[in-house]
Amino acid sequence: MPEPVQQTIRLSIGSRYENIELVQAVLDETLESLPIDEETGYWMGIALREALTNAIKHGNGLDPEKKVDVCLAVDETGVDITVEDEGSGFDPGAVADPLAPDNLLKTEGRGIFYMRRFMDKIDYDFGADGGTKVRLHKKFGAPGSSAEADQGGANED
């Protein structure tokens, strides 16, 4: 496969769940020309959906007037995805561990865990005037992401 072409794609969507499909479609098309196998691409898509869900639901409170800005950036080393909302931010360190026995049957709280699991790196940036930006990174040639390998070992939170 040829060297990845550097490219940057920016999208701005209203805070509606149906817009997640649009961003997913753009990611899928972008990944087609990159050295990322289908399985890894699938899990990157799930991670992206989790980031968008958090931005739409928790960040922007499902207010369709509030925007979520997405940037897909490809360089020679990998793919960077940033998702930025207009919310008031949160403390990533305060997110409960979904693997704790008391949390196993909770209906929420797994999104960040899945993002960490399916990407090589995630980090957060909080704007001085509000807004949360999450950056998801996937390196080319890194071990494939999978929900099957190393089960139960992802307890970064």
Partner 1 sequence: MKIEKRQRDGATILDLQGRITIGEGDVALREAVLAAVGEGATSILLNMGRVRAIDSSGVGELVAAYTTVTNRGGKLRLFSLPSRVLGVLQITQLVTVLDILEDEDEAVASLA
To partner 1, the closest distance from the beta carbon of 93 in angstroms equals 19
Residue 1 or 105 having the CB closest to partner 1: 105
Report the run of H or E that residue 116 belongs to, with start and end: helix 111-118
If one asks whether residue 49 binds partner 1 (CB under 8 A), the answer comes out as: yes
Looking up tokens 């087609």, which residue turns up? 32
Residues 14-43 that bind partner 1 (CB under 8 A): 17-18, 20, 42
CB 76 within 8 A of CB 141: no
| Separation between Cα atoms, residue 50 and residue 112, nearest integer Å | 7
If one asks whether residue 148 binds partner 1 (CB under 8 A), the answer comes out as: yes
How many chain residues are in contact with partner 1, going by CB under 8 A?
27
Residues 53-92 that bind partner 1 (CB under 8 A): 53, 57
To partner 1, the closest distance from the beta carbon of 67 in angstroms equals 18
Buried b / exposed e along 19-46 (16+ C-beta atoms within 10 A): bbeebeeebeebbeebebeeebbbbbbb
Residues 85-124 that bind partner 1 (CB under 8 A): 98-99, 104-108, 110-111, 113-114, 117
Nearest CA among 136, 132, 133, 110 for reference residue 121:
136
| Separation between Cα atoms, residue 25 and residue 48, nearest integer Å | 11
To partner 1, the closest distance from the beta carbon of 99 in angstroms equals 6
| Separation between Cα atoms, residue 24 and residue 75, nearest integer Å | 19
Residue 42 or 126 having the CB closest to partner 1: 42
- List residues binding partner 1 (CB under 8 A): 17-18, 20, 42, 46, 49-50, 53, 57, 98-99, 104-108, 110-111, 113-114, 117, 146-148, 151-152, 154
